[in-house]
Amino acid sequence: MPSNLDAQSIAPHPDHDHQACIDSALTAARELCREKQQKLTKTREKVLQLIWGSHRPIGAYSLMDALAEGEQKRVAPPTVYRALDFLLELGLIHRINSLNAYIGCQDPSHEHHCYFLICTSCNLAVETDPGPFQSAVGQLKQESGFEIRQQNMEFNGLCPHCQEQSE
Amino acid sequence: MPSNLDAQSIAPHPDHDHQACIDSALTAARELCREKQQKLTKTREKVLQLIWGSHRPIGAYSLMDALAEGEQKRVAPPTVYRALDFLLELGLIHRINSLNAYIGCQDPSHEHHCYFLICTSCNLAVETDPGPFQSAVGQLKQESGFEIRQQNMEFNGLCPHCQEQSE
DNA sequence: TTTTATCGTGTTACAATATAACACATCGAT
DNA sequence: ATCGATGTGTTATATTGTAACACGATAAAA
Ligand SMILES: [Zn+2]
Ligand SMILES: [Zn+2]
Ligand SMILES: [Zn+2]
Ligand SMILES: [Zn+2]
């Protein structure tokens, strides 16, 4: 996990240089598409860029609204959902099921499970390392007999910044 | 966690006595409502019973269909959603976000986080103990600075029975 | 006993999220 | 030139969930 994060915490600081986040995400996306021989078309890139517009999950219809900004005509839902499906497939974004919303992946260079901390106050979502959970997952596989293929974890609570606000 | 489960696994065996599951769930629900001084009305009880009709998550509109069986008129969505909200609030059921569906809680006697194993083949969903994950969660709280209030974990894969089928 | 407050339900309409189906366009390979 | 594969446009529709307001039962208060 990179990069542009607060030293005290894995959460991005409100004042961080977010353009750097966007730039590095797009660079990583181009790289990944080259590797996997997939095309990052204009629509797909624009959607990815809009998703990286913040560290908060954004819904498909909000993305449609954002895409419409400064354009003559709105795109229809399938256009956005196709782009989302493509980006999900490549691991460039994750879906936050509890919010029906999408957020950029912090490290698309390798496939991984979907672990997020989500602030219920400001909607900040921070991707986190599944590593520390894997021994418990292994134990669970043993006990349950399930063959676990996908892990999806959503923690809700208050981010450091919102805790300060509410004190 | 009780009860009517396969000895080899926490997953319910396909041949288990499921009426016992339903009965004990309803008994537990009546008990909990008495404790918390809440009313388990006819609609609420019927919805809970239908949810316990299987160990698979069921959607709100499927519940409406099931409620309509043998009745003159269908109930409208708000009726089902109100019952679901009530049952969720009391912890008698959980919502599986990835499926927009609802499933009975194995142990509503005390509040707890939502941890499920879900079979992608037969949709069986098995609630599991958050305990083994809590040290990793504690570490994550430290590192992230988040105040974590809710945990929602969904593991997808193949249940023991479906693994046999596919061999 | 009437009054009033609370709670649960009925009903209508609608919002928000997502997909099916089919037409068309682009582009590289044969 | 033709074909096949892929990406997009367009229309309609499916699925999931809520807002708003009216009605009815129950039970405490007057
Ligand atoms: Zn950033
Ligand atoms: Zn926050
Ligand atoms: Zn059972
Ligand atoms: Zn199965």
DSSP notation for A93-139: EEEEGGGTEEEE-S-TTS---EEEEEETTT--EEE--SGGGHHHHHH
| Mean pLDDT, rounded, for B1-21 | 71
Reduced to 3 states (helix: H, G, I; strand: E, B; else coil), residue B94 is strand
Domains, chain B, ranges and CATH?
A: 18-165 (1.10.10.10)
Ligand 3: centre distance to CA B73 (Å): 29
Strands in A147-158's sheet, in edge-to-edge order, are: A125-127, A114-119, A147-158, B147-158, B114-119, B125-127
Residue B140 above 90 pLDDT? yes
Strand C, nucleotides covered by protein (CB < 7 Å) = 7-14, 16-21
Give residue A64's pLDDT band: very low, low, confident or very high (50, 70, 90): very high
The answer to whether residues A63 and A80 touch, using CB atoms and an 8 Å cutoff, is: yes
Query: In this complex, is the C-beta atom of B166 within 8 Å of any C-beta atom belonging to chain A?
Result: no
* Per-residue pLDDT at A5: 43
Report whether B148 contacts B108 (CB < 8 A).
no
On chain B, the residues whose CB falls within 8 A of the CB of A88 are none
Contact criterion met (CB < 8 Å) for A147 and B163: yes
Instruction: Report how far residue A141's alpha carbon sits from residue A159's, in angstroms, rounded to the nearest whole number.
Output: 31
Protein residue with the closest CA to the C1' atom of nucleotide C20:
A78
Span A68-96, average pLDDT: 95
**Among B128, B137, B160, whose Cβ lies nearest the Cβ of A140?**
B128
A3 pLDDT higher than 50: no
Quick one: angle between helices A60-68 and A42-51, nearest 10? 110
The model's pTM: 0.92
The residue of chain A nearest to residue B129, with distances taken between CA atoms, is A140
Task: Give residue A9's pLDDT.
Answer: 61
